[in-house]
Amino acid sequence: MNDAGGLRVRTREFLAAHPPATTAKTDFLRARFDAGLAWVHYPEGLGGVGAPRSLQTVVDAELAAAGAPGNDPRRIGIGLGMAAPTLLAHGSDDMKRRFLRPLWVGEEVWCQLFSEPGAGSDLAALATRAVRDGDDWIINGQKVWTSSAHVARWAILIARTDPDAPKHRGITYFVCDMSHPGVEVRPLRQITGEAEFNEVFLTDVRVPDAHRLGEVGDGWRVARTTLMNERVSIGGARVPREGGMIGPVAALWRDRPELRTHDLHQRLLTLWVEAEVARLAAERLRQGLAAGRPGPEGSAMKLAFARLNQEISGLEVELRGEEGLLYDDWTLRRPELVDFTGRDAGYRYLRAKGNSIEGGTSEILLNIVAERVLGLPSEPRDDKDVPWKDLNR
Protein backbone atom coordinates (compact mmCIF):
# COMPACT_ATOMS: atom_id res chain seq x y z
CA MET A 1 0.00 0.00 0.00
CA ASN A 2 3.04 2.29 0.14
CA ASP A 3 3.43 2.66 -3.61
CA ALA A 4 1.69 5.31 -5.74
CA GLY A 5 -1.28 3.09 -6.56
CA GLY A 6 -1.77 2.02 -2.98
CA LEU A 7 -1.65 5.57 -1.68
CA ARG A 8 -4.11 6.69 -4.33
CA VAL A 9 -6.56 3.99 -3.23
CA ARG A 10 -5.97 4.83 0.44
CA THR A 11 -6.66 8.52 -0.20
CA ARG A 12 -9.86 7.84 -2.14
CA GLU A 13 -11.13 5.55 0.60
CA PHE A 14 -10.34 8.26 3.14
CA LEU A 15 -12.25 10.85 1.10
CA ALA A 16 -15.23 8.56 0.84
CA ALA A 17 -15.30 8.20 4.62
CA HIS A 18 -14.67 11.94 5.24
CA PRO A 19 -16.32 13.99 2.47
CA PRO A 20 -14.71 17.44 2.46
CA ALA A 21 -18.04 19.16 1.76
CA THR A 22 -19.67 17.80 4.91
CA THR A 23 -16.75 17.35 7.31
CA ALA A 24 -15.59 20.20 9.54
CA LYS A 25 -12.12 21.41 8.58
CA THR A 26 -10.44 20.56 11.89
CA ASP A 27 -12.08 17.15 12.02
CA PHE A 28 -11.00 16.49 8.44
CA LEU A 29 -7.37 17.45 9.13
CA ARG A 30 -7.21 15.38 12.31
CA ALA A 31 -8.60 12.37 10.47
CA ARG A 32 -6.15 12.91 7.60
CA PHE A 33 -3.26 12.89 10.06
CA ASP A 34 -4.55 9.73 11.73
CA ALA A 35 -4.93 8.07 8.33
CA GLY A 36 -1.23 8.62 7.59
CA LEU A 37 -1.88 11.12 4.79
CA ALA A 38 -0.34 14.21 6.41
CA TRP A 39 3.36 13.40 5.86
CA VAL A 40 3.42 10.06 4.04
CA HIS A 41 7.15 9.62 4.77
CA TYR A 42 6.63 9.89 8.54
CA PRO A 43 6.09 6.68 10.55
CA GLU A 44 2.67 5.18 11.06
CA GLY A 45 0.87 6.79 13.98
CA LEU A 46 2.72 10.06 13.42
CA GLY A 47 0.93 11.30 10.32
CA GLY A 48 2.50 8.98 7.79
CA VAL A 49 2.80 5.45 6.50
CA GLY A 50 6.56 5.20 6.02
CA ALA A 51 6.29 5.75 2.26
CA PRO A 52 8.85 7.64 0.13
CA ARG A 53 8.56 11.41 0.55
CA SER A 54 8.14 11.84 -3.20
CA LEU A 55 4.73 10.10 -3.05
CA GLN A 56 3.21 12.97 -1.06
CA THR A 57 2.33 14.58 -4.39
CA VAL A 58 0.07 11.62 -5.20
CA VAL A 59 -1.93 12.19 -2.01
CA ASP A 60 -1.99 15.96 -2.41
CA ALA A 61 -3.30 15.73 -5.98
CA GLU A 62 -6.20 13.46 -4.96
CA LEU A 63 -7.11 15.73 -2.04
CA ALA A 64 -6.92 18.90 -4.15
CA ALA A 65 -9.15 17.39 -6.84
CA ALA A 66 -11.73 16.61 -4.15
CA GLY A 67 -11.65 20.15 -2.76
CA ALA A 68 -10.17 19.07 0.56
CA PRO A 69 -9.19 21.83 3.03
CA GLY A 70 -5.52 22.54 3.68
CA ASN A 71 -3.78 23.24 6.98
CA ASP A 72 -2.66 26.77 5.98
CA PRO A 73 1.07 25.92 5.83
CA ARG A 74 2.18 29.55 5.59
CA ARG A 75 0.65 30.29 9.00
CA ILE A 76 2.33 27.29 10.64
CA GLY A 77 5.49 27.22 8.55
CA ILE A 78 7.92 27.22 11.48
CA GLY A 79 6.18 24.23 13.00
CA LEU A 80 5.98 22.32 9.74
CA GLY A 81 9.39 23.21 8.34
CA MET A 82 11.55 23.34 11.47
CA ALA A 83 9.95 21.97 14.64
CA ALA A 84 8.39 18.83 13.13
CA PRO A 85 11.51 17.36 11.48
CA THR A 86 13.54 18.12 14.61
CA LEU A 87 10.96 16.45 16.85
CA LEU A 88 10.91 13.45 14.52
CA ALA A 89 14.70 13.12 14.51
CA HIS A 90 15.46 13.84 18.17
CA GLY A 91 12.25 13.86 20.24
CA SER A 92 11.06 11.12 22.56
CA ASP A 93 8.12 8.95 21.56
CA ASP A 94 5.93 10.85 24.03
CA MET A 95 6.94 14.20 22.53
CA LYS A 96 6.20 13.03 19.00
CA ARG A 97 2.77 11.78 19.98
CA ARG A 98 1.99 14.96 21.95
CA PHE A 99 3.17 17.60 19.50
CA LEU A 100 3.10 16.42 15.89
CA ARG A 101 -0.67 16.06 15.39
CA PRO A 102 -1.79 19.51 16.68
CA LEU A 103 1.27 21.04 14.96
CA TRP A 104 0.30 19.64 11.57
CA VAL A 105 -3.42 20.34 11.96
CA GLY A 106 -2.58 23.95 12.83
CA GLU A 107 -4.13 23.92 16.28
CA GLU A 108 -0.82 25.01 17.84
CA VAL A 109 1.50 27.59 16.27
CA TRP A 110 5.26 27.33 16.87
CA CYS A 111 8.10 29.84 16.95
CA GLN A 112 11.88 29.59 17.10
CA LEU A 113 13.85 30.96 20.08
CA PHE A 114 17.40 30.81 18.71
CA SER A 115 18.92 34.23 17.89
CA GLU A 116 19.95 36.66 20.63
CA PRO A 117 21.08 40.30 20.66
CA GLY A 118 24.70 39.12 21.06
CA ALA A 119 24.38 35.88 19.10
CA GLY A 120 22.86 36.38 15.69
CA SER A 121 25.27 35.28 12.99
CA ASP A 122 27.41 33.58 15.64
CA LEU A 123 24.50 31.63 17.08
CA ALA A 124 26.71 29.30 19.13
CA ALA A 125 27.77 32.28 21.27
CA LEU A 126 24.29 32.44 22.81
CA ALA A 127 24.04 33.44 26.48
CA THR A 128 20.55 32.33 27.53
CA ARG A 129 21.10 30.00 30.50
CA ALA A 130 19.31 26.84 31.51
CA VAL A 131 20.04 25.52 35.01
CA ARG A 132 18.86 22.09 36.18
CA ASP A 133 16.42 22.07 39.10
CA GLY A 134 15.24 18.54 39.82
CA ASP A 135 13.10 17.36 36.91
CA ASP A 136 12.97 20.87 35.43
CA TRP A 137 15.27 23.42 33.87
CA ILE A 138 15.05 27.10 34.82
CA ILE A 139 15.75 29.33 31.84
CA ASN A 140 16.72 33.00 31.82
CA GLY A 141 17.74 35.14 28.87
CA GLN A 142 16.61 37.12 25.84
CA LYS A 143 15.84 36.07 22.28
CA VAL A 144 15.29 38.30 19.27
CA TRP A 145 13.94 38.33 15.69
CA THR A 146 11.34 35.74 16.67
CA SER A 147 8.67 35.39 14.00
CA SER A 148 5.16 34.50 15.23
CA ALA A 149 6.10 34.65 18.93
CA HIS A 150 3.01 36.80 19.55
CA VAL A 151 0.71 34.00 18.35
CA ALA A 152 2.78 30.92 19.21
CA ARG A 153 1.81 28.27 21.74
CA TRP A 154 5.17 26.46 21.69
CA ALA A 155 8.77 27.30 20.84
CA ILE A 156 11.90 25.42 19.94
CA LEU A 157 14.65 26.88 22.13
CA ILE A 158 18.38 26.46 22.64
CA ALA A 159 20.09 27.54 25.85
CA ARG A 160 23.50 27.23 27.46
CA THR A 161 23.71 24.50 30.08
CA ASP A 162 27.50 24.34 30.53
CA PRO A 163 29.40 27.65 30.42
CA ASP A 164 32.67 25.80 31.05
CA ALA A 165 32.46 23.95 27.74
CA PRO A 166 33.40 25.45 24.34
CA LYS A 167 30.51 27.36 22.86
CA HIS A 168 29.28 24.63 20.50
CA ARG A 169 29.37 21.91 23.15
CA GLY A 170 27.59 23.51 26.10
CA ILE A 171 24.15 23.99 24.51
CA THR A 172 20.95 22.04 25.08
CA TYR A 173 17.76 22.02 23.02
CA PHE A 174 14.27 22.35 24.55
CA VAL A 175 10.60 22.77 23.74
CA CYS A 176 9.34 25.84 25.61
CA ASP A 177 5.76 26.64 26.64
CA MET A 178 5.06 30.18 25.40
CA SER A 179 2.13 30.52 27.82
CA HIS A 180 4.47 30.34 30.85
CA PRO A 181 4.17 33.53 32.94
CA GLY A 182 7.93 34.11 32.67
CA VAL A 183 7.73 34.51 28.88
CA GLU A 184 7.33 38.14 27.76
CA VAL A 185 6.89 38.93 24.05
CA ARG A 186 7.53 42.46 22.78
CA PRO A 187 7.02 43.64 19.18
CA LEU A 188 9.91 44.75 16.99
CA ARG A 189 8.88 47.44 14.50
CA GLN A 190 10.44 46.85 11.09
CA ILE A 191 11.28 49.02 8.10
CA THR A 192 7.85 48.11 6.67
CA GLY A 193 6.14 49.72 9.65
CA GLU A 194 4.88 46.34 10.84
CA ALA A 195 5.86 44.08 13.71
CA GLU A 196 5.86 40.48 12.55
CA PHE A 197 9.11 39.93 14.49
CA ASN A 198 9.48 40.02 18.26
CA GLU A 199 11.96 40.03 21.07
CA VAL A 200 11.29 37.50 23.82
CA PHE A 201 12.39 37.80 27.45
CA LEU A 202 12.64 34.62 29.53
CA THR A 203 12.55 35.03 33.31
CA ASP A 204 12.72 31.90 35.47
CA VAL A 205 10.87 29.91 32.84
CA ARG A 206 10.48 26.29 33.92
CA VAL A 207 10.84 23.65 31.23
CA PRO A 208 10.47 19.99 32.21
CA ASP A 209 13.38 17.75 31.33
CA ALA A 210 10.85 15.65 29.43
CA HIS A 211 10.74 18.54 26.92
CA ARG A 212 14.45 18.26 26.15
CA LEU A 213 15.44 17.12 22.65
CA GLY A 214 18.69 15.19 22.48
CA GLU A 215 21.28 14.80 25.19
CA VAL A 216 22.34 17.53 27.60
CA GLY A 217 25.11 19.53 25.91
CA ASP A 218 24.30 18.14 22.46
CA GLY A 219 21.94 20.93 21.48
CA TRP A 220 24.11 22.27 18.67
CA ARG A 221 23.82 19.00 16.76
CA VAL A 222 20.05 19.04 17.25
CA ALA A 223 19.90 22.71 16.23
CA ARG A 224 21.70 21.92 12.98
CA THR A 225 18.80 19.64 12.06
CA THR A 226 16.47 22.62 12.56
CA LEU A 227 18.69 25.05 10.67
CA MET A 228 19.15 22.82 7.63
CA ASN A 229 15.41 22.25 7.41
CA GLU A 230 14.78 25.97 7.91
CA ARG A 231 16.92 26.92 4.92
CA VAL A 232 15.21 24.35 2.72
CA SER A 233 11.77 25.57 3.82
CA ILE A 234 12.70 29.21 3.06
CA GLY A 235 14.68 28.79 -0.15
CA GLY A 236 13.33 25.53 -1.52
CA ALA A 237 9.57 25.96 -1.36
CA ARG A 238 7.63 24.58 -4.32
CA VAL A 239 6.39 27.35 -6.63
CA PRO A 240 4.99 27.26 -10.17
CA ARG A 241 6.70 28.96 -13.09
CA GLU A 242 6.55 32.74 -12.51
CA GLY A 243 5.65 32.07 -8.90
CA GLY A 244 7.11 34.16 -6.10
CA MET A 245 8.52 37.63 -6.65
CA ILE A 246 9.06 37.33 -10.40
CA GLY A 247 5.33 36.84 -11.04
CA PRO A 248 4.09 40.38 -10.30
CA VAL A 249 6.98 41.90 -12.28
CA ALA A 250 6.38 39.74 -15.35
CA ALA A 251 2.65 40.49 -15.20
CA LEU A 252 3.34 44.22 -14.88
CA TRP A 253 5.63 44.11 -17.93
CA ARG A 254 2.91 42.47 -20.03
CA ASP A 255 0.08 44.70 -18.78
CA ARG A 256 1.83 48.09 -18.81
CA PRO A 257 3.75 48.53 -22.11
CA GLU A 258 4.22 52.23 -21.39
CA LEU A 259 6.65 51.34 -18.58
CA ARG A 260 9.00 49.33 -20.75
CA THR A 261 12.56 50.33 -21.63
CA HIS A 262 15.31 48.33 -23.33
CA ASP A 263 17.58 48.33 -20.29
CA LEU A 264 14.83 47.18 -17.96
CA HIS A 265 13.83 44.50 -20.47
CA GLN A 266 17.33 43.03 -20.38
CA ARG A 267 17.34 43.02 -16.60
CA LEU A 268 13.91 41.41 -16.45
CA LEU A 269 14.97 38.65 -18.86
CA THR A 270 18.10 37.94 -16.81
CA LEU A 271 16.19 37.79 -13.53
CA TRP A 272 13.39 35.71 -15.06
CA VAL A 273 15.93 33.11 -16.19
CA GLU A 274 17.66 33.14 -12.80
CA ALA A 275 14.33 32.75 -11.00
CA GLU A 276 13.45 29.79 -13.22
CA VAL A 277 16.86 28.19 -12.63
CA ALA A 278 16.39 28.64 -8.88
CA ARG A 279 12.91 27.12 -9.08
CA LEU A 280 14.17 24.05 -10.92
CA ALA A 281 17.16 23.71 -8.59
CA ALA A 282 14.75 23.81 -5.64
CA GLU A 283 12.78 20.98 -7.25
CA ARG A 284 15.98 18.95 -7.53
CA LEU A 285 16.71 19.69 -3.90
CA ARG A 286 13.28 18.41 -2.86
CA GLN A 287 13.85 15.25 -4.89
CA GLY A 288 17.11 14.77 -3.03
CA LEU A 289 15.28 15.11 0.27
CA ALA A 290 13.14 12.12 -0.68
CA ALA A 291 16.24 9.96 -0.17
CA GLY A 292 17.38 11.42 3.17
CA ARG A 293 17.79 14.45 5.37
CA PRO A 294 18.57 17.94 4.10
CA GLY A 295 22.20 18.83 3.64
CA PRO A 296 24.18 22.06 3.26
CA GLU A 297 22.87 22.53 -0.29
CA GLY A 298 19.80 24.14 1.27
CA SER A 299 22.04 27.05 2.29
CA ALA A 300 22.82 27.72 -1.37
CA MET A 301 19.12 27.80 -2.20
CA LYS A 302 18.42 30.22 0.62
CA LEU A 303 21.26 32.45 -0.62
CA ALA A 304 19.76 32.52 -4.11
CA PHE A 305 16.28 33.20 -2.71
CA ALA A 306 17.47 36.27 -0.78
CA ARG A 307 19.48 37.78 -3.62
CA LEU A 308 16.78 37.23 -6.23
CA ASN A 309 14.02 38.65 -4.05
CA GLN A 310 15.99 41.83 -3.44
CA GLU A 311 17.00 42.32 -7.08
CA ILE A 312 13.53 41.52 -8.45
CA SER A 313 11.75 43.81 -6.00
CA GLY A 314 14.24 46.57 -6.83
CA LEU A 315 13.54 46.12 -10.54
CA GLU A 316 9.80 46.35 -9.90
CA VAL A 317 10.14 49.63 -8.02
CA GLU A 318 12.31 51.05 -10.80
CA LEU A 319 9.91 49.81 -13.48
CA ARG A 320 6.94 51.48 -11.79
CA GLY A 321 8.77 54.79 -11.47
CA GLU A 322 7.19 57.24 -9.04
CA GLU A 323 4.28 54.93 -8.25
CA GLY A 324 6.80 52.31 -7.14
CA LEU A 325 7.75 54.53 -4.22
CA LEU A 326 4.22 54.48 -2.80
CA TYR A 327 3.78 52.61 0.44
CA ASP A 328 0.94 53.96 2.52
CA ASP A 329 0.63 51.41 5.33
CA TRP A 330 2.97 52.62 8.06
CA THR A 331 0.73 51.67 10.98
CA LEU A 332 2.03 49.31 13.60
CA ARG A 333 0.43 46.03 12.65
CA ARG A 334 0.98 42.54 14.06
CA PRO A 335 0.59 40.25 11.05
CA GLU A 336 0.71 36.49 11.41
CA LEU A 337 1.95 35.99 7.86
CA VAL A 338 4.57 37.45 5.56
CA ASP A 339 2.87 38.07 2.21
CA PHE A 340 5.33 38.95 -0.53
CA THR A 341 2.90 38.82 -3.44
CA GLY A 342 -0.37 40.05 -1.93
CA ARG A 343 0.92 43.53 -1.11
CA ASP A 344 2.18 46.49 -3.13
CA ALA A 345 5.62 46.94 -4.69
CA GLY A 346 6.85 49.24 -1.93
CA TYR A 347 6.17 46.59 0.70
CA ARG A 348 7.93 43.89 -1.31
CA TYR A 349 10.99 46.08 -1.80
CA LEU A 350 11.28 46.93 1.90
CA ARG A 351 10.45 43.48 3.27
CA ALA A 352 12.89 41.69 0.94
CA LYS A 353 15.78 43.42 2.73
CA GLY A 354 15.25 41.01 5.61
CA ASN A 355 15.69 37.94 3.40
CA SER A 356 19.48 38.12 3.66
CA ILE A 357 19.27 38.10 7.48
CA GLU A 358 16.43 35.75 8.48
CA GLY A 359 17.08 32.03 8.35
CA GLY A 360 20.84 32.57 8.49
CA THR A 361 22.69 35.63 7.24
CA SER A 362 24.05 35.48 3.72
CA GLU A 363 27.61 35.83 5.04
CA ILE A 364 27.26 32.72 7.22
CA LEU A 365 25.57 30.79 4.41
CA LEU A 366 28.45 31.66 2.07
CA ASN A 367 30.83 30.08 4.57
CA ILE A 368 28.66 26.95 4.77
CA VAL A 369 28.52 26.58 0.99
CA ALA A 370 32.27 27.17 0.70
CA GLU A 371 33.23 24.67 3.39
CA ARG A 372 30.56 21.97 3.20
CA VAL A 373 29.54 22.03 -0.46
CA LEU A 374 32.69 23.15 -2.29
CA GLY A 375 35.16 21.64 0.20
CA LEU A 376 37.20 24.84 0.60
CA PRO A 377 39.38 25.36 3.70
CA SER A 378 37.61 26.59 6.81
CA GLU A 379 38.12 30.11 8.05
CA PRO A 380 40.49 30.34 11.06
CA ARG A 381 38.54 30.11 14.34
CA ASP A 382 40.59 30.92 17.42
CA ASP A 383 37.64 30.46 19.79
CA LYS A 384 36.69 26.92 18.82
CA ASP A 385 38.12 25.16 21.87
CA VAL A 386 37.90 28.02 24.38
CA PRO A 387 35.37 27.67 27.23
CA TRP A 388 32.35 29.86 26.57
CA LYS A 389 32.78 31.72 29.88
CA ASP A 390 36.26 32.87 28.78
CA LEU A 391 35.18 34.33 25.43
CA ASN A 392 35.18 38.07 24.83
CA ARG A 393 31.56 39.16 24.46
CA angle 169, 223, 105 (to 5 degrees): 150
Does 230 participate in catalysis according to the annotation?
yes
**Which residue out of 194, 230, 297, 316 is catalytically annotated?**
230
Kindly list the catalytic residues.
230
